[in-house]
Amino acid sequence: MDGARTELLIGAIARMLEGCRTVAIGASSPIPGAAALLARARSGGRMRVLMLGSRKHNAFTDGGRELFDCAAQGRIDAFFLGGGQIDGAANINLVGTGEAPRWTQRFPGSFGSAYLYFLIPRVILFREEHTPRVLVPKVDFISSPGTSAPEVYRPGGPHALVTGRCVFDFDKATRRFRLASVHEGETPAGIRRETGFDYDETDSIPQTAPLGVADLELLRGRVAGEIAETYPRFAAALFGRQAA
């Protein structure tokens, strides 16, 4: 993915984090991590960013266990999840394709994804690849369900899905995605062809808004140096920066 598209994704995610007090980012998440740092910079430092794997941007001393405790206490406002498969009900599959126990393909595993999905109110699903292979009609295995029965206590759940082609919002009432915007160079018809699940859309779909000049300067300057501490290769490839 080219640099302009990566910056577009960072901007789209950063806007979704406005108003959050505490945002947590799991492992291997440079784009969500950069978005959270950008949102923090735009907030004047009022937002707290907890990035697993970072020494400078992480108050946790015991890794994931502290993240789980904070989520259970209602102290995490936003988090990010991906999946080897994602379907139209926002179910994600982090286990494998095919049928257990003879999977045709294995994914990294669920870890605490289902737990966090139930507890954190603004879970943003993120997957750069946007193809029918990933965005499927129904996941082969539900490692983390997108919705629950009405009697189930669940303060958390999906807020949106950001891909390399577009942004979907998730409607908890209808339990369906809605096409919110398409990235530059994409069309609603093309998104429909490349998406395996059904979703809603209006007659007029806007383009995903790019970052403004001031935000780009902030991203390529301060944020680039901050994200390089945890993701040096990402920062070097995208911004040509070393850790601040």
pLDDT 10s digits, 5-58: 999 999 999 999 999 999 999 989 999 999 999 999 999 989 999 999 898 998
Q: Is the pLDDT of residue 242 over 80?
A: no
Element (H, E) at 9: helix 3-16
What residue spans define the domains of the chain? 3-239
* CA dist., res. 181 & res. 185, Å (int): 12
Q: What CATH architecture does domain 3-239 belong to? A: 3-Layer(aba) Sandwich (3.40)
Q: Is the pLDDT of residue 244 over 80?
A: no
Contacts of residue 57, Cβ cutoff 8 Å, sequence gap at least 6: 37, 49, 50, 51, 226, 229, 230
At residue 86, the pLDDT reads: 98
Q: Is the pLDDT of residue 243 over 80?
A: no
> Is the distance from CB of 23 to CB of 49 less than 8 angstroms?
yes
Q: Is the pLDDT of residue 1 over 80?
A: no
